[in-house]
Amino acid sequence: MISRRSFIATGTLASVAIACSRTPLAFAETPDRLGVQLYVLRDLLSKDFDGTLAKVAGLGIKNVEFAGFYNRTAKQVRATLAKSGLTATGAHCLQASMSDDEVQKTIDFCHEVGMPYMIAAVPSIKPNSFGKSSGDPFKNIALEDFRWSADRFNNIGRKVRDAGMRFAYHNHNIEARKYGNVSGLDEIIRLTDPSVVGLEFDTGNFIAGGGDPYPYLTKYPHRFELAHVKEWAGPFTPTLTGNFPKYANFGEGKTDWKKMMAELKKAGVKQTFIEQDGTAASDELGAVRQAYQYLLKI
C-alpha cells in the first residue's frame, strides 16, 4: 500500500489531484454535505478507476475529492464522473514547492475537469540557497517553513482565483506543532489572505497531533470552507510524525460526532469529506460505507 507520506511527497499532476471554484458552493443538507476523499481508495482506483468510482456512487455518495488521476486525461476524468453521477468538489494537487510552470499546468488541467477547488495537502520546506525545496515536512519542519509556505500559497491562490477557481489549504498533524505559544496552523491562518486562500480543516489530523479543533472553529467562523473527518482508535499518544494512530469505525472511537458535525456546520463548513482507511481486513470501501452511513444518522 502506498504510504501517506510517499504519496504526498511524490505527487505530480498525474498522481495528485485538483479543485477550484467559480461560484461559492451552496450550503447543502446532508447527504449532499458529505463526501469521500478518494485517497483512502487509492489501491482500488489504481486497479480499476472507473469501476471504483461506480462503487462509490453505489454507496449513495454524491461528492468526491480526488487525490490522484491515475494517468487519466481531464476529458477522461470528466467522462467517468458524468457516467457515475458523481460530483468532484476538488482534489489535492498543489504544493508550495511546485514551480510556476507546474502550478499553471495543474490549473489548466483542473479547469478542464471543472472542479471548484484546488487544494494543497501539506506545507513545504523552504528552499535552500540553490532554490530547491526538499525535505520531509513530517520529519523536520520549522516555523519559517510554515511562513514561507503561507506566502507561496497566497501567490498560488491568486493564480487559481484568476483562473476562476478557489485555492484551499489542508492540514495534517504537523500543524499542531507548537513553537512557543504559536502553532503551525496559527501561522498559516495569520499569514494567508482569505480572499485567495481558503482552508480545509482536517479535524482528525489535528487531533492526531494533539490539537483541539473546536477553539479554531469558534474563533474563525467561515474561514474553514471544507473539512475532513476521521475516527481514531483510542486512547493514543499524539504524534507529529508520519506515523498516524490506528483508525476505528466511526462511533467506536472518542469523537463526539453530534458535536463535531454541528460545530463544523456552525462554523460555515460547506462540505465534509470522510477520509477513513480500512479498519478491518483492509476493507477501505467497507470503512467508507460504515462512516458514511453512520454520519447520515447523526
pLDDT digits (tens, 9 = 90+) for 125-162: 999 866 677 789 999 899 999 999 999 999 999 999 99
pTM: 0.90
CATH of region 4-296, choose from 3.40.50.300, 3.20.20.150, 3.40.50.1820, 3.40.50.620 = 3.20.20.150
Give just the sign of the alpha carbon dihedral 23, 188, 113, 84: negative
- How far, in Å, CA of 172 to CA of 231, rounded? 14
pLDDT value at residue 129: 60
Q: Where are the chain's structural domains?
A: 4-296
Would you say residue 14 has pLDDT above 50? no
Q: Virtual CA dihedral for 107, 109, 115, 116, nearest 10 degrees? A: 10
Give the residue-averaged pLDDT of 222-226: 98
pLDDT value at residue 69: 97
Among candidate residues 86, 31, 78, the one with its CA nearest the CA of residue 55:
86
Give the residue-averaged pLDDT of 176-184: 97
Q: Predicted confidence band at 30 (pLDDT cuts at 50, 70, 90)? A: low
pLDDT value at residue 130: 65
- How far, in Å, CA of 212 to CA of 223, rounded? 16
- How far, in Å, CA of 45 to CA of 115, rounded? 19
Contact of 226 with 273, CB cutoff 8 Å: yes
Would you say residue 11 has pLDDT above 80? no
Would you say residue 105 has pLDDT above 70? yes
Contact of 166 with 197, CB cutoff 8 Å: no
Output the CA angle 294-5-198, nearest 5 degrees. 65
Between 20-34, 168-182, 231-245, 275-289, the lowest mean confidence (pLDDT) is in 20-34
- How far, in Å, CA of 204 to CA of 172, rounded? 8
- How far, in Å, CA of 168 to CA of 174, rounded? 17
115 CB-contact burial (10 Å; exposed 0-12 / middle 13-18 / buried 19+): buried
Would you say residue 200 has pLDDT above 80? yes
